[in-house]
Amino acid sequence: MMLMRVDVIVMISAGMVLGMLVGALPGFTTVMAMAIVLPISFFLEPILGIPFLIGVYKGGIFGGSIPAILVNIPGTGASVATTLDGPAMTRKGQSRKALEMALVASAIGDFLSSFGTILVIGLIATFALLIGPPEISAILILSLLVIVVSSAGSFLKGMVMLLIGMFLATVGQDPVGAMVRFDFGFHPLQAGIDLLPLIIGLFAIPEILLAIEQRHANVVDASQTKAQGDRLTWSEVKRCRRTILRSTAIGGVIGMIPGVGQVVAAFMGYSAAKNASTHPETFGHGELEGVAAPEAANNAVNGPTMVPLLTLGIPGDNITAILLGAFVAQGLRPGPQLFEEQGVLVYAILFSMLIACVLLLVIGYLLTPVFARVVSIKKAYLVPLMLLFAVGGTYVYRSNPMDLYFMIAFGLFGYGARKLRFDVTPLVMGFILTPPLEYALAQSVLLSQGNLVGYLVSDRPIAAVVLALTPVLIFWITNRQRRQDRLAQKRAAG
């Protein structure tokens, strides 16, 4: 009954439109949009605020395909693989067909993976209830290291950002003894650093500053942003159905793994489609399946990312980190207990993802031509509005002027990190996951009575196995990424 309310549909639709708008603007990211509008969700009841953010999420991931297809500029990182065939279709005069295939593949992939998420998440949450502090500690350590090695840039840079995030999380009272740490005699630090100014500062402010740098640059000529050619036919959708289903399965599996994300899913979906095709030579030259594969895969990631978030409280990427902030601000701490305490609400939010997929198809079909025109808007025109939302949202949440100073400080830090090619994702994840990790480690030490290694080996074999496999998994991921980088360099050179 919660989902039958008109205001729920309206909020999902509003988020969807906003997400598509930002996704269609090259240089502005879905993460930035969600960070800026995050405070809006705090003043709404959970069944309105969180689906609103989910709408922004899903709309933004699809919206990035619009400039990727029309002008070979991916609006989001998730749409990079779409540039392999989308622009080639545009050059053939088939941009309308490419956009509609991207929309259909996105909606189908997202819907099926979200439905699968709803089917399995309850079982996973039940299993998670059997996990104790040692297992949680092991899983959190593994998740943090996977995020580091999966982040952009070198392992060393990722580790530096992770340690900074973990240090920032220890500022204020510790979760066990309530002792004040690292306040340096500065009273506002005694309560710790709030998540909201950190998120807005690291994700929104650098984007705004970079847009100011390019204030005179027009992204693309407006004449290039018309959807042209024939519409997509049902027979063409049927021809791509195996590709869409295959990519949906790939994206669904990847979505449940913290730290991997849409970009990897899109390229894996594209590669799988090309390898399975009877005419692989057409890929890269305007092949319709080359658009369907990455778009189905990157959107199929959306739903399954909620599995580690809701069952273990582990965000898999920046977007789910923002969603975690929304849950916590609403008094809903993700974890297995959440399903026991707020099961009806949790499933209502999960089912809102299915509604969002249907709305994506409808709104996308109606408004894609409009958003195609948005590609040519100068980013500088939107900067004042973005800045207003960032400052207003940061202040209104707690009405604490100190949050504005934190936001500015993190914004300048994030801007410098972008310039030096440091990925802030490990920092954010370290900040979010350190408190539960510290608490779980403290409980594990108390349970072991000082003999933690012996306790893990004798009484907690699952935790011991996870910790033992962690370096193996990290080594495998690192080697795989190196092979992919070498292959990409060879392709670029060839």
Cα separation of 334 and 327, whole Å? 7
Burial label for 123, CB within 10 Å (0-12, 13-18, 19+), is: exposed
Cα separation of 322 and 299, whole Å? 18
Cα separation of 167 and 427, whole Å? 9
What is the model's pLDDT at position 257? 73
The residues spanned by each domain of the chain are 2-493
Select from 27, 46, 60 the least CA-distant residue to 318: 60
Phi, psi of 172 (to 5 degrees): 105, -155
- In three-state form (DSSP H/G/I as H, E/B as E, the rest C), the secondary structure along 309-373 is HHHHCCCCCHHHHHHHHHHHHCCCCCCHHHHHHCHHHHHHHHHHHHHHHHHHHHHHHHHHHHHHH
Adjacent-strand bridge partners of 172: 181
* pTM of the full structure: 0.77
Phi, psi of 145 (to 5 degrees): -70, -40
Per-residue tokens: 118:
């709803």
CB 196 within 8 A of CB 213: no
> pLDDT tens per residue, the chain (494 residues)?
566 678 889 999 999 999 888 888 766 677 878 888 888 888 888 889 999 999 999 998 888 888 888 877 776 667 778 888 888 888 888 888 888 999 999 999 999 999 999 998 888 877 776 777 787 788 788 778 877 776 666 778 888 998 999 899 888 877 666 677 777 777 777 778 887 788 888 877 887 888 777 655 544 444 555 556 677 888 888 888 999 999 999 988 888 876 666 777 888 888 888 888 888 888 888 888 889 999 999 899 888 888 888 887 777 677 888 888 888 888 888 877 788 788 888 888 899 999 999 999 999 989 888 877 776 566 666 777 778 877 887 777 677 888 888 889 999 999 999 888 888 878 887 887 888 888 888 877 777 776 666 666 667 777 777 778 778 877 776 776 666 666 656 655 55
CB 230 within 8 A of CB 378: no
CA atoms within 13 A on the CB side of 448: 21
